Amino acid sequence: MTQQTGLHPLVQENMRGFLEKHPHLKYNFFGGKGGVGKTVLAGASALAFARLGKRTLLASTNPVHSLSGLLSQNVFGQVVQVTGVPNLFAYEIDTKDTIEKSKQEIKEKVSWFLKFAEIRTQADAFVESATMNPAFEESAMFENMIDIMFKDEYEVYVFDTAPTANARRLLGMSSVYSLWVGKMMKSREEAQSLRQVLSYSKKKEEKDPLMDYLLSFQQRMAHAKELLTDAQKTAFFFVTLPEALPIAVITRFIAWFKEFGIPVGGVVVNMLIDKAQVRADSPEFVRNRVAMQEAYMEEIKSDFPGMVRAVLPLFETEIRGVEMLKRTADALYC
């Protein structure tokens, strides 16, 4: 592909080119190491989709209140239309509330099961030990995210913070789930028919909420897998800085994703210092930093061939508010 003018030489196919090739792109994710600019770039990307006239939801599953700060508008716990940007809606998911609801649901199921199995123990102790870990919280957030996807109320979704570990786990586990649920179904059916043979009464079998839950869970995971591996609809973008650790992090993520067939949309390099602003008499730490970034840009070039979609400058201030976000969107979709 011929290089477009105004683009960084590392960019062969930019965001715009990628979108032209993926006109049905619907689920966009931004991932990368902490603090590299995932929230900012998710916001800029969502704004760009909204400007194209697409009804867009920018959603954050990040427990830290990030979107409200970025937009200078309270979008916590509910979907809010972003002021001054038609078609753009933002939603910062209430993590605590999501986790609490999920715990409550599990508690009901465990209570039912304990009663069913005639075990006289309170569900609370079980539930506490099963849910007091970060993996449970992550899963609850992941389920909340796929629920938003399934509701299908927007043309485009941009999720701040790719649920990297979860997406990977989900795809790795989904065949195990199927196997497991399949086995449970079979033994459940056998038990039921045995019970019917032994029973004189023709009493109708009572409903089994645990089994229903497993079945619907399996179906939801299968559907999520279908959407998340559809390269026409889904793209995971990885944000890095021209620095060692952020590069190492996305290198690992990209390898995982490729292994599981999750579509990688590309790499965005953020916070590159504009060399034109640096002179021989600039402070030494600035010159050193520029030299360091230059070396890592070479590394990015060889590590992610053809995958860099944009290179964004380090702006003079942090990125806050819609006006600054528009500037970032211009740089991302130049």
Ligand X SMILES: Nc1ncnc2c1ncn2[C@@H]1O[C@H](COP(=O)(O)OP(=O)(O)OP(=O)(O)O)[C@@H](O)[C@H]1O
Minimum CB distance to ligand X, residue 124 (Å):
33
Stretch 22-41 residues interacting with Mg ion (CB under 5 A): 38-39
List binders of Mg ion among 66-85 (CB under 5 A). Answer: 66
> In whole angstroms, how close is the CB of 43 to Mg ion at the nearest point?
10
Give the β-pairing of 27-31 and 264-272.
unpaired
Closest to ligand X by CB, 68 or 174: 68
Beta bridge mates, 58: 90, 158
Q: Which is nearer to ligand X, 15 or 271 (CB)?
A: 271
Binding footprint of Mg ion, residue count (CB under 5 A): 3
Query: Which residues from 33-52 bind ligand X, rule CB under 6 A?
Result: 34-40
What gap in Å lies between CA 325 and CA 317, rounded to an integer? 12
Residue 123 or 249 with smaller CB distance to ligand X: 249
Of the chain, the end-to-end C-alpha distance in Å amounts to 17
CB nearer to ligand X: pick between 174 and 251: 251
Q: Which does 126 bind (CB under 5 to 8 A by kind): ligand X, Mg ion, none?
A: none
Query: Segment 308-327, which members bind ligand X (CB under 6 A)?
Result: 312, 314-315, 318-319
* Contacts for 41 with CB less than 8 Å, ≥ 6 apart: 30, 237, 239, 268, 270, 312, 328, 332
Nearer Cβ to Mg ion (34/86): 34
Nearer to ligand X, 161 or 234 (CB): 161
The dihedral region occupied by 140, where left means phi > 0, alpha psi between -120 and 50, and beta the remainder, is alpha
| Cβ atoms of 134 and 165 closer than 8 Å | no
48 binds, among Mg ion, ligand X, none (CB under 5 to 8 A by kind): none
Identify which of 284, 270, 283 has the alpha carbon closest to the alpha carbon of residue 314.
270
Q: Is 14 in the site for Mg ion (CB under 5 A)?
A: no
**Residue 26 contact, options ligand X, Mg ion, none, Cβ 5-8 Å cut-off depending on partner type:** none
Query: Number of helices and strands (H, E) in the chain?
Result: 11, 8
Residues 255-284 that bind ligand X (CB under 6 A): 270-271
Encoding tokens for residue 333?
């979709």
Residues 60-79, one symbol each (x = binds ligand X by CB under 6 A, - = not), give: --x---x-------------
What residues have CB less than 8 Å from 54, skipping those under 6 apart?
A: 87, 155, 156
Smallest gap from Cβ 231 to ligand X, in A, equals: 25
Residues 6 or more apart in contact with residue 109 via CB below 8 angstroms: 209, 210, 213
* CB-nearer residue toward Mg ion: 38 or 233: 38
- How far is the C-alpha of 253 from the C-alpha of 32, rounded, in Å? 8
Instruction: For the CB of residue 45, give the shortest distance to Mg ion in the complex, in Å.
Output: 13
CB of 270 to ligand X, least distance (A): 5
Strands 80-81 and 264-272: unpaired
Q: How far is CA 43 from CA 88, 142, 149, in A?
A: 10, 20, 18
Residues that bind ligand X (CB under 6 A): 34-40, 62, 66, 270-271, 312, 314-315, 318-319
